């Protein structure tokens, strides 16, 4: 979605389930407006946070005129896993995108296309692309435009997303946690920006990183606060690049026990 919209709206890491919310990306061009809905990846929910993420997926599928199903073409057919039931039940038009084709020989790309055509004979198109190298992204966009229904624009031409700058800042901080920690720590963290004060030359941000247990807090902060300082330093650089100005970033870590399993706490954190 970032490549299609031309703005960095969704965070990206090598870890699964990085995206937790439904994020709209709005692209308005000459005679068209595309409203992308980037969702969490399909999953089997195991606790309340996962259930909230699945609700975002269901809502997106119910609203969609077109589903762009992105698969990792570098994975073998055995590694692709089962086709999600939600996708099979969707009445929306479908485009299959085979991403990461830059990692494959031409014969493997053709084989992957045949495999997904057998799974989804109703798909309007199966397109191989490399989001990293921007290869065939414009082809995908043209396919999407061709399948759009006629309808008045939902948003003003200069709107890019439904998310606030405060939300995007929190996500960019969380992205750095995903990059810098292993195992359970990234999945146990949620970031909330409690203060967001822009001025002409400086953006002051105060953020709280929530974890579920004291032991996780210790790991996140590190000896003498070194680990948290590294997260804050890398996040500040990313935020400065994103917002185009100097950023003063203050981060604190708090324990919010069982926030991933408590629906009330999830509601407070924006997972309604």
What does the pLDDT look like over 163-188, one tens digit per residue? 999 999 999 999 999 999 988 999 99
Residue span of the structural domain in which 224 resides: 165-268
Whether 156 maps to a domain, the answer reads: no
What does the pLDDT look like over 26-53, one tens digit per residue? 999 999 999 999 999 888 899 999 999 9
Q: Which of 91, 121, 147 corresponds to the end of one domain?
A: 147
Residues 110, 228, single domain; the answer is no
Residues 38, 115, single domain; the answer is yes
CATH of the domain at 190: 3.30.300.20
Strands 66-72 and 93-99: parallel
Q: Total domain count for the chain?
A: 2
pLDDT, position 88: 83
Whether 160 maps to a domain, the answer reads: no
**What whole-number percentage of the chain has pLDDT above 90?**
86
Whether 153 maps to a domain, the answer reads: no
Residues 97, 29, single domain; the answer is yes
Residues 116, 182, single domain; the answer is no
Residues 87, 185, single domain; the answer is no
Residues 28, 127, single domain; the answer is yes
CATH of the domain at 130: 3.40.50.300
What does the pLDDT look like over 241-254, one tens digit per residue? 999 999 999 999 99
Residues 12, 80, single domain; the answer is yes
Res. 82: pLDDT tops 80: no
Q: Which of 120, 147, 174 corresponds to the end of one domain?
A: 147
pLDDT, position 86: 84
How far CA 159 is from CA of 5, 45, 111, 196, 230, in Å, comes to 11, 33, 40, 20, 33
**DSSP class of 63:** H
Residues 239, 196, single domain; the answer is yes
List CB contacts of 204: < 8 A, sequence separation 6 or more. Answer: 195, 196, 197, 198, 247, 248, 250
List CB contacts of 51: < 8 A, sequence separation 6 or more. Answer: 45
Residues 134, 186, single domain; the answer is no
pTM of the entire structure? 0.91
Res. 81: pLDDT tops 80: no
Answer yes or no: are the C-beta atoms of 74 and 47 closer than 8 Å: no
């Amino acid at each position: 979605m970032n490549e299609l919209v031309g703005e960095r709206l969704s965070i990206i890491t090598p870890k699964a389930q990085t995206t937790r919310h439904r994020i709209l990306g709005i692209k308005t061009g000459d005679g068209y407006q595309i409203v992308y809905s980037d969702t969490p990846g399909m999953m089997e929910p195991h606790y309340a946070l996962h259930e909230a993420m699945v609700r975002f997926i269901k809502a997106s599928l119910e609203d969609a005129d077109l589903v762009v199903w992105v698969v990792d073409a570098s994975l073998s057919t055995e590694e692709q896993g089962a086709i999600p039931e939600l996708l099979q039940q969707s009445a929306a038009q479908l485009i299959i995108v085979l991403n990461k084709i830059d990692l494959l020989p031409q014969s493997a790309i053709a084989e992957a296309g045949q495999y997904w055509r057998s799974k989804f004979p109703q798909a309007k198109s199966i397109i191989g692309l490399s989001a990293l190298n921007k290869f065939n992204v414009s082809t995908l966009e043209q396919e999407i435009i061709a399948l759009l229904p006629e309808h008045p624009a939902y948003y003003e031409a200069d709107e890019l997303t439904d998310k606030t700058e405060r939300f995007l800042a929190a996500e960019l901080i969380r992205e750095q946690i995903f990059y810098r920690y292993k195992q359970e720590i990234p999945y146990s963290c949620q970031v909330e920006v409690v203060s967001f004060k822009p001025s002409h030359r400086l953006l002051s941000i105060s953020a709280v990183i929530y974890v579920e247990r004291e032991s996780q807090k210790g790991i996140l902060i590190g000896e003498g606060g070194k680990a948290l300082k590294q997260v804050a330093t890398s996040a500040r650089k990313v935020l400065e690049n994103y917002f185009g100005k100097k950023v003063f970033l203050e981060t604190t870590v708090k324990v919010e026990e069982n926030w991933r399993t408590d629906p009330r706490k999830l509601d407070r954190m924006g997972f309604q």
